[in-house]
Amino acid sequence: MTDHYAVFGNPVAQSKSPMIHGRFAALSGQDMAYDKIEAPLGGFADAVQRFRDAGGKGCNVTAPFKIDAFAIAGTATDDARLAGSANTLRFSDGAIEAHNSDGIGLTRDIQDNLHTPLAGKRILMLGAGGAVRGVLLPFLQAQPDELSLLNRTPDKAAALAEMMADYGMVTLCDPVECGGFDIVINGTSSSLTGSCPALPRGVFDGCALAYDLTYGKGLTPFLAAARDAGVPHVADGVGMLVEQAAESFRWWRGITPATGDLIADMTVPLV
């Protein structure tokens, strides 16, 4: 019998999740179907309940419902709990379980696909919103030498660092001048509007990898600034997109699908 999954969002027409999970299912021989469901604003919980009642096994969740998804779950993984949001739900025995696969997807892309170990490295994350909050735990578990935050609202970054204190040290970067990082990651939404986040002097000094969580936009202003500063390797978030989907697939089906060919097919040249 075919198992049914879906992605919920509003809007959701642009989602690439059905294509990605369709490829995963074909590659791994899984009998499953995957749809897009646009839930009405204020009606996410009811839409999920209807999907469950119709036999749905699980779902992905995109904007603006990730916090709602966490709220309706009875149990949650540490990744979802610390993020305060979920992009993956699993339905079993009448219960809803929540997971956030973003951080796992990002660490896998950097370490496995871009061949850049995180252990012992100095890492700077720009931003302190939901995207950054969702990836900090897997990064700390990778045991970097330093994990630092820089946000236009320092108090928000400080609160996030304090929240992570039981899992590892997160420091704050000087907004005027800082450098010496091995990896600099843009976790702000700046690239969605074609702008560049405020960058301290020397932020790319010694940097080996600049990574933008935004994908499919080509050479974003952030990545262009990194390339102009001599950073030898720049990457956008397409690998994270595919890898976080692979983690959702593993959590549902118990199989980790191959991702390399799909990432290559979806990659937009950074020019």
Catalytic residue chosen out of the listed positions 16, 66, 121, 217: 66
CA distance 231 to 5: 40
Contacts of 187 (CB under 8 A, 6+ apart): 125, 126, 127, 129, 131, 132, 135, 213
217 is catalytic: no
Contacts of 124 (CB under 8 A, 6+ apart): 148, 149, 150, 173, 178, 181, 183, 184, 185, 203
Q: Which two tokens stand for residue 178?
A: 């800082």
CA distance 74 to 93: 12
In this structure, the chain runs to a length of 271
Q: How many CB atoms lie within 10 A of CB 268?
A: 12
The answer to whether 234 touches 227, Cβ cutoff 8 Å, is yes
- 3-class DSSP assignment, residue 265: helix
What's the CA angle centered on 247, arms 2 and 68, to 5 degrees?
Answer: 85
* Residue 178 vs residues 101, 202, 205: alpha-carbon distances, Å: 30, 6, 9
DSSP state, 250? H
Q: Which two tokens stand for residue 183?
A: 């990896």
Q: Which two tokens stand for residue 79?
A: 């990744």
Active-site annotation, residues: 66
